[in-house]
Every structure is written in C-alpha cells, then in structure tokens.
Structure 1
C-alpha cells in the first residue's frame, strides 16, 4: 500500500506544510486539519508510535498518487487523495508510512537491491511491495483501520510474519501484482530517490542523529510495554539497536584486540640492550619487550544482576584467561556492587566468591582495579549497565560486556534512562 507517515521527533508538530507545488486557482488545496486529525487518531490507537508520527514534516504534493515518505522523514500528501479518504483510513496510512522509516526499509532496500542486482523502477516496486507485506501483515486492527488497497502477504499467496528480504526473494510479478502497480511510497520505502522529493539539502529533513533518536524512543516504548504491540513491532524493537550477533566471539575479539594493541603488555628491559645503543657509545639503553598482558575483570554483583548472569560472567572470565594466552596469573577479578570486594587472582573460576546484592557504582571498582600493582593493561567490565561511569577514561583500554536489559522503564520516572557506557569503552552485548 502507499501513504505517508507523520512524525515529529521531539516537541510540537509542524503546522505549516511545505508546498512542493503551488496550487493554481480553482485547484483543491490540501486539507491539513483532516490529515492532522488522522495523525492524532493514529497516535491514540498506537501510542508507542507517537514520537515517530509527530517527527515527520508534512509536504503538500500533487505528484504522488496518495501519500509517500522520503528517507529524510518528510511526508508528501496528495490533496485529492486526502479529500476522498476517510480520517480513519488516513490514520492507517500515517502508521504505514512511518513504519517504512522506522524499519529502515530505504537502507535495507538499497542493500537487498545491490545483493540481488535489482535496478530500475520496476525492481524497486518489488522492494516496495515486499516492504508493504512486512508492515501490513499485523499492523491493522485494534482501532486502526486498514486503508483501501493495502497489499497483504495473503493477496500474493505468501505467508504472514516474514521480513521484507524474505518476501522479496519469494515474490515475483504475476497477475495479482497489477493492482499494486500504482504504489508510490517514496524513497523512504525502497531507497530510490524521486524527482519530486526535496532531497538531502531540502528544508525540514531530519539528520541521521535525529532519526536514530526517534527510533530509539519508539523501540524503548515498545520494549517497556510490549503487551500492546503486534509481533512484528516487538521483533523490530528487540533488534533495532541490538541486532543478533555472535557476542562470545565479539567479546573475545575485543579483549584480544585490547591486549595486543600498542602499549599493552609492553615494558622496558635491560635483559637485552636496545639496538639503538650502538649509536650512543658508553650508554646502555633498555629494549622494549612484550610480556603477558595484565587484565582486571570487574564483575557487577548488584541486585539487578541475576544469578544466571553472574554464572555467565564467570564463564567469560575463563574465556578471558584463554584470550591472554592461558596466563591466569595475569588476570584478577574484582566483584563490585556499590563498593568493591576483595581482589581475587584467577586460579579457578569456581573459587571466586561473587558477593554483593546491593546498589551499583562501578566507579569504585575501576578505582580498585587501577590501584592494583602492577597496573592492568586492560580492564574488562561485565555489567547490566545500570551504573555511574568514571568521568574520565582510565589509563588503559576498557572493554564492557553488557548484559541486555529489554525493559528500562520506571513507572515513577518515565524519562529514566541508565547512563550509556562511555565512548572510550569498547562495548559488546552479552547474550
């Protein structure tokens, strides 16, 4: 199906749509109030999409058959289409169009088109139809009317519940496709720029950071209250910012990269003179030699970390010992909740008592780890992330293994968000 989405990332919606084409005398003008009423209805029945619905900037256009979105979060609306479509169905169009943008159908459309060698408008129409099938299989109902002509997987003899890429591989044009030949959801749906779009330099487009902020807010809203969202939205929210990844390999690679980087595990030694000593007669210069890197592992033992996650942390400690060449004497463990516990040398992970259960302040764990003698070359933190972080980067590399938290919402403070790990840390999501 086709139609524009409406969205406004932060505050009040724009009430003055851009005129992509001027309206000659006697030509029907865009009924903005009707469109805004439809958007408000969509936000009421799908409150988790409200941030995105009010992030779109409305643009009047007579070059689109119905409504469409570009990849910069502008929504183009045909005055004639708006005039003949009931408000309830326009609400469904708003949700449909903003779904293209939230699910990154433009970026995914570009990638799948390159992979399958799809070129030209006809190929991109296939992408548009596949993207529509991903949205329309479960987005309507429960107060949201399905717009007339909405393409559903069953109409193309395809099953519900697949992703755009899967629908595209299974779907080819046949007589059932003729009714969809008029679809025009814009570059926001398939990644192909249109001549009538305002483009990256046009007014009122969202920056990449603003688009990510909108997606984050919507995903967090769905994950906080998942009972009201269809299965497709729940899946999107879980994978929007944390796509499936081989986390164990990533964590091991992050640790190995940190311990093998310049400066880690390096020290000066007089056991073998430096070669540059020959240029300084009578002076003995030390050489820079590699030694086994020292790693300090801070384990979050606060009450918000489950026993299963603490067990996973001990498994990771063992893997870290292997990452440094099996030298367990080079690995220390610091259990920490609001205060650090005793520092343990890694002999056997079963012998490390993970005591705690109180609040969380891993800054104390950092201070304890960095006071160790000799100082560590790498600090590895295993935590759920609900902790304050040091205000400055430590003097060594830092790797954070983050236990995922699907719900970061507080009834007492809806705006609560734990501090994200700092930029100087290499972050890998565990699990």
Structure 2
C-alpha cells in the first residue's frame, strides 16, 4: 500500500522522524538507518526483533507527533544496541524466568535502563514512556538490576500493553519474520553496526551520556567469561573469614557488658585491600601488558569499584614501584627481563596497608613462593600453547601454580 492509502503506514512521517532522531543523536545514525521498517497491525506501537527489523503500527504513526516518533526510534534501536534480547535470554536461563509475564518484566526493566537518560536535548519523550521513578526505582541501573527490584503488580498494571518485541526481551513474537525473513541483518552486519556506533560515541565524548560511553567502552572490550570467573574468585577470597577483618575500639565488643571496667575491642570488617602483581617479563607480549590494565579495572569492580583499595606492582625478575590504582591509566608496566614473581609476592606483602588478597597476572613462566603467603592468592594465567618454554633453556619446565592459589585461565 502507498503512504496515501487509507490506513496505510505513513512512511514519509516515519522517515522524517528517523531523520530528526539522527540529527539530534548523530552517533546513533548508523544504527537508526540500519533498522528496516515493517508495517504490522499486530504491534501496539513500534517493536524490534533481534535481526534489526522494526515492526510499526500505522495507527500509532498517525496519532504520534514526529518529535515523539523520533524518541521511539532511538528507544527501539537502543534495545538492539544494548543486546537486551541476548541479555534477556541469559538472565532467563540463570534465574529460571519463564512465561510472558517474566518477559514483560524484562521489557519493563530494559525500558527503565534506556529511558532514564535517552530523552531531552532535542529528543521528546513519548507519551507513556516507562521511567524508573514511576516504579519508585533508582536511576542509572541496568536491566538485570531492575529485574531484582520489582514484580508485576499495581504499579505495573497500566503497562500490560507494553511490547517492544523480541529485540527487547528475547522471546519471539507471532509477527516476527525470523532469521530467514527478508531485510534482516546477519550477525556480522549487526556487529559492524555496533562497532560503527561505538566509534561515533568515542568521537563525541562531550555530548554523550555516561551510559552510552560505558556501552561504547564495552563494545570495544566486551566482557569475557574468564573475567567473570576472575571477579568471582576475588570476591570469594575477599569475603572469606579473616579477610578485611581487624579489631577496633571504635565500638566495644558486646562481651564488655559482662566485664565491668574492661573495654574489649570488637572484630570489625573493613574494605579488603587487593595487590595486583603484573608479570612484565620478556615472555609476556605487549598486547597482554596492555590488556592487564583492563583486567585491573575489572578487579576494582569486583571489590565494589573502590580504586583506592587496589595497588598494582609490575614485576619481572625484580619488583618495581607499587602504584595506586587511582593513577591506573598512567601506570608504567616496566620490565622485559627474566621472571621471578617471588620478589613480587615479597614486595606486595610488605605494602601498607597489608593486602588481603594478592592477584597475579602472568604467563606462568616463573618460580613460586615456597610457602603459602599470609593472605589469599588468585592467579590469572595468560594463554600459552606450551607452558614449558624458556628462551635460554629448552628443557626448562616451570612450576605449576601452587595448590593454595585460585587459578583462572585468561583469554
């Protein structure tokens, strides 16, 4: 049907709204023009599938001003860029969430993630847009966080109409054209769109929200499964008995009540200190040294984002200067000689305040301390095809990490 036929989709109006969206959010232009519109009377407003098709209700376009339609364009493409369909599938498996009710919750949570910072600055908020505040939820969080904080009930009963499609929650709809339908993007094409958008965002840092900047950083350095394992190992080490604990007279022990005149200290938990020893020997590549700083940032997230609790120590055959993570972007990873991380362990354990956990990032071509350190140890191993390698001794076989260390393979 043509745009002028009764009940037909007004493509001129729809495309004018997309052009307006691209003008006010130029870093999203590649993604906006990659979306292929498909007329559908079965969607309430506009909806997307994971193959980058946008299903559009003609009646919705007719009754919605161009400025609001522009906001809906940006909203829907944000679902796809932020991989809400893939994240929805993962969280459904992990938490055992099934059925249309749970998928509606995911759609609401995904909308809360998007809508708290997407409008304004030339982009009009559409009528009925879901905001975290309307559900008495904090702003600035992710879909997975919001899912833990609300259930379907009186506050969400007016949102039963909401349906941004399978691209927002991962559950296929009856109107989806599927992977073999026309005008869908391949996985490689979708990745290329995300990369181009991430490039546009990093090129306009002053005009992009914090959430989009964080998204762009993750698009260039996507989270890896081993990074989650490394974070879990560190959290486990820092939460164990004795980690981050010390006696304090700031609050007397409860037993003091039974001993008049005697003030006993109480055992208080303090934030855990983490010392990261980075192997800078000649067998570690420049790329691995560069990625080590990214891993240090991930380690800081594992302890709650407190960069002041993390120090970094470059080490080859000799320990270098201990650097606080607050200067992480400028930490010089000096080295290039042989490897003996025993000196790194010794230097880290002399650091004040004393670390509760020592994390070692290495290729494993090293000697290890003969005795267990007085704190927990996590070892991240860079990948090697053959661990028995030494530039001077072909028969050299390095020691395996000791049993008292938690080992995670990196990469």
Task: Give, in whole Å, the separation in 2 of the partners of 1:105 and 1:140.
Answer: 19
Counterparts in 2 of 1:208-223, with a 5 A limit? 208-223=187-202
Q: What is the match of residue 193 of structure 1?
A: 172
Structure 2 Cα separation of the partners of residues 71 and 248 of structure 1: 25
| 2:364 corresponds to which of 317, 323, 330 | 323
Q: C-alpha distance in 1, partners of 2:113/2:168?
A: 11
Query: What is the alpha-carbon distance in structure 2 between the residues aligned to residue 376 and residue 249 of structure 1?
Result: 32
Pick aligned residue for 2:23 from 33, 36, 44? 44
Q: Structure 2: which 5+ runs fail to align?
A: 231-280, 291-328, 342-359, 369-390, 397-408
Counterpart contact for 2:339–2:366, Cα < 8 Å? no
The alpha carbon displacement at 1:227 in A equals: 1.3
Partner of 2:64: 85
Q: In the alignment, which of 331, 334, 338 is matched to residue 308 of structure 1?
A: 331
Match for residue 211 of structure 2? 232
Shift of 1:225: 2.0
Out of 115, 118, 128, which is 2:107 matched to? 128
> Aligned partners of 1:56 and 1:177: how far apart in 2?
29
Distance 1:210 1:33 in 2: 26
| 2:161 pairs with 1:182 | yes
Q: Is the 8 A contact 1:127 1:168 kept in 2?
A: yes
Q: Distance between the aligned counterparts of 1:320 and 1:149, measured in 2?
A: 49
| Corresponding residue number in structure 1 for 2:263 | none
- Closer, same or farther: CA 314–373 of 1 in aligned 2, 3 Å: closer
CA contact (8 A) 1:58 1:77 kept: yes
Matches within 5 A, 1:293-372: 296-299=283-286, 308-311=331-334, 318=341, 323-326=364-367
Does the C-alpha gap of structure 1 residues 322 and 38 become closer, same or farther in structure 2, counting only changes over 3 Å?
A: closer
Q: Mind listing any 5+ residue stretches in structure 1 that lack a counterpart?
A: 1-21, 251-293, 328-371, 378-425
The RMSD of aligned alpha carbons is 3.7
Matched, 1:108 2:87: yes
- TM (normalized to structure 2)? 0.59
Decide whether aligned partners of structure 1 residues 101 and 376 sit closer, same or farther in structure 2, where only a CA change above 3 A counts. farther
Paired residues of 1:56 and 1:73 also in contact (CA < 8 A) = yes
Question: Given the two structures, how large is their TM-score scaled by the length of structure 1?
Answer: 0.56
Post-superposition offset of 1:174: 2.0
Deviation at 1:224, TM superposition (A): 2.7
For residues 155 and 179 of structure 1, the distance between their equivalents in structure 2, rounded to whole angstroms, comes to 11
Assess if the C-alpha contact under 8 Å between 1:299 and 1:313 holds in 2.
no
Match of 2:193, SS state, is: helix
Partner of 1:164: 143
1:381 aligns to what? none
Find the residue that maps to 2:34 and give its secondary structure: coil
1: CA distance, partners of 2:182 / 2:98: 29
Task: Give me the whole-angstrom Cα distance separating, in 2, the residues matched to 1:376 and 1:52.
Answer: 54
- Residue matched to 1:274: none
Decide whether the 8 Å contact of 2:10 with 2:58 is kept in 1.
yes
Alpha-carbon distance in structure 2 between the residues aligned to 1:221 and 1:213: 12
Aligned residue for 1:160, secondary structure, equals coil
CA contact (8 A) 1:53 1:94 kept: yes
1:138 aligns with 2:103: no
Structure 1 Cα separation of the partners of residues 116 and 336 of structure 2: 40
Which residue does 1:154 correspond to in 2? Answer: 133
Deviations 1:164-214 (A, max 9, x none): 011011111122212211011110001010111101110110111111111
CA, structure 1 residues 142+121, in 2 after alignment: closer, same or farther (shift >3 Å)?
same
The answer to whether the 8 A contact 2:283-2:363 is kept is no
Measured after TM superposition, the shift of residue 148 of structure 1 is: 0.5
Q: Is the 8 A contact 1:297 1:317 kept in 2?
A: no
> What displacement does 1:308 show?
2.0
2:282–2:337 CA contact under 8 A, matched in 1: no
Quick one: structure 1 residues 81 and 249, their matched pair in 2 at CA, closer, same or farther if it must change by over 3 Å?
closer
